[in-house]
Amino acid sequence: MAPPECLFDHGDELGEGPVWDTRQQRLLWVDILAGRLLRAAPQPAAPVEVLEFGRPLGCAVPHVDGSTWLALSDGVWRLAAGAAQPTPIAQPPRAVHGPQHRFNDGKCDALGRFWLGTTLLDEAPGGGRLYCLDLDGQLHQVLDGITVSNGLGWSPDNRTFYYIDSPTRRVQAFDFDLASGQLGRGRTLIDFGEQPGVPDGLAVDSEGALWIAHWDGYRLSRWSAEGVLLAWVELPVARVTSCAFYGARLEQLLITTARVGLDDSARQAQPLAGRSFRLDPGVTGLAVSACRVRVPDHPQESA
C-alpha cells in the first residue's frame, strides 16, 4: 500500500468517528471534546463545514430522513437537515449517566439501530457502558463495566459483532442476531500483545477483515476474521483514532487522528497530528447503514 496522504487542511484536537454519508456523498466525523461535527466532500483540500455544539460530541450518524443523529454528552439528539440546533431523542438514566460521563464511538447496524458507548471523563475503570438505540427509539443498555467504549462493527454476514474497550487492548467478537439485536457468546478475537499502542476505532472491509486504528501506535492495521495480522500501514502521527471506507465503490479509506494530550515538543515533531488522511487500501469496504430509528413523540430516558 502507498503511504496515507493528508486529505483536508483541517486539524482536530480529537478527530473521531468518521462515516460516509452515501445519500449526501460526503464524509462526517467529529472533534469529540471540542463538540464539533465536521462535514466535507471527499476531495483533497475541500472546504470543511464545522458545526459547534458547545459540549462533547462522541459520534454522529446520518439518518435516512436526511437528518444527522448526534451522541452529545447527555444523550442522543437529532439535527434536522438545515437546522441550527438539535432536538433531544433519548438519554441514559441519570442514575448511571451524569455530568462525569460522555459518549464516545458509535455506529449503525444493518437494520439501522444506533449502537453507541460511553466513558467517564477521567476514563476511570468500569465506568462506561454500551447502549443500543432500537428502531422504536428506546435506548437499551447492552454491556456495562466498560472503561473506554470504542471501535465497533459487524461481519459481512451480520452474525458477528466486533467491539473494543480500549484499555483492555483486546478486540472482542460476539455472536450477533440481527433480527433481535441481541448479543450472544463473546470471545477475544485479537489481543494486541506486543502491538504498539492500544486499539481504538475500527472498520470492516468486504472480505471480512478488520482495520484497526492504533492510539499512540503510529499505525493502522488489518486483521483477518480469525484474528491474524495481515498488514499494517504507518502514519506520521501517534494518535490514530479511527477509519471509514468511502467513495463510489467504498474503495478509499479515511483515517482520523488526534493531537489532544500531546505536549509542545510532540506537536512540533508531529505537525500533521489531528489531520485526516486518505489511504488506497487495495480492497473495498463493507457498507455501513444509515440510522433508521423512528423519531419518538417525546424524548426517552432509558429504564
Q: Please give the annotated binding residues, written as ranges.
A: 16, 102, 104, 122, 150, 200
Please enumerate, by residue number, every residue annotated as part of a binding site for substrate: 102, 104, 122
Beta carbons within 8 Å of 278's beta carbon, 6+ residues apart: 4, 5, 6, 7, 42, 44, 252, 253, 254, 255
Pull the grid cell for residue 128. 462506561
Please enumerate, by residue number, every residue annotated as part of a binding site for a divalent metal cation: 16, 150, 200
Pull the grid cell for residue 74. 447527555
Candidates 105, 200, 205, 280; catalytic one:
200
Beta carbons within 8 Å of 206's beta carbon, 6+ residues apart: 156, 250, 283, 284, 285, 286
Q: What are phi and psi of 168, to 5 degrees?
A: -70, -20
* Environment class of 24 (CB within 10 Å of its CB; exposed 0-12, middle 13-18, buried 19+): middle
Reference 28, options 79, 62, 5, 56; nearest CA is 62
| Residue 175 falls in the annotated catalytic set | no
Q: Which residues are catalytic?
A: 200
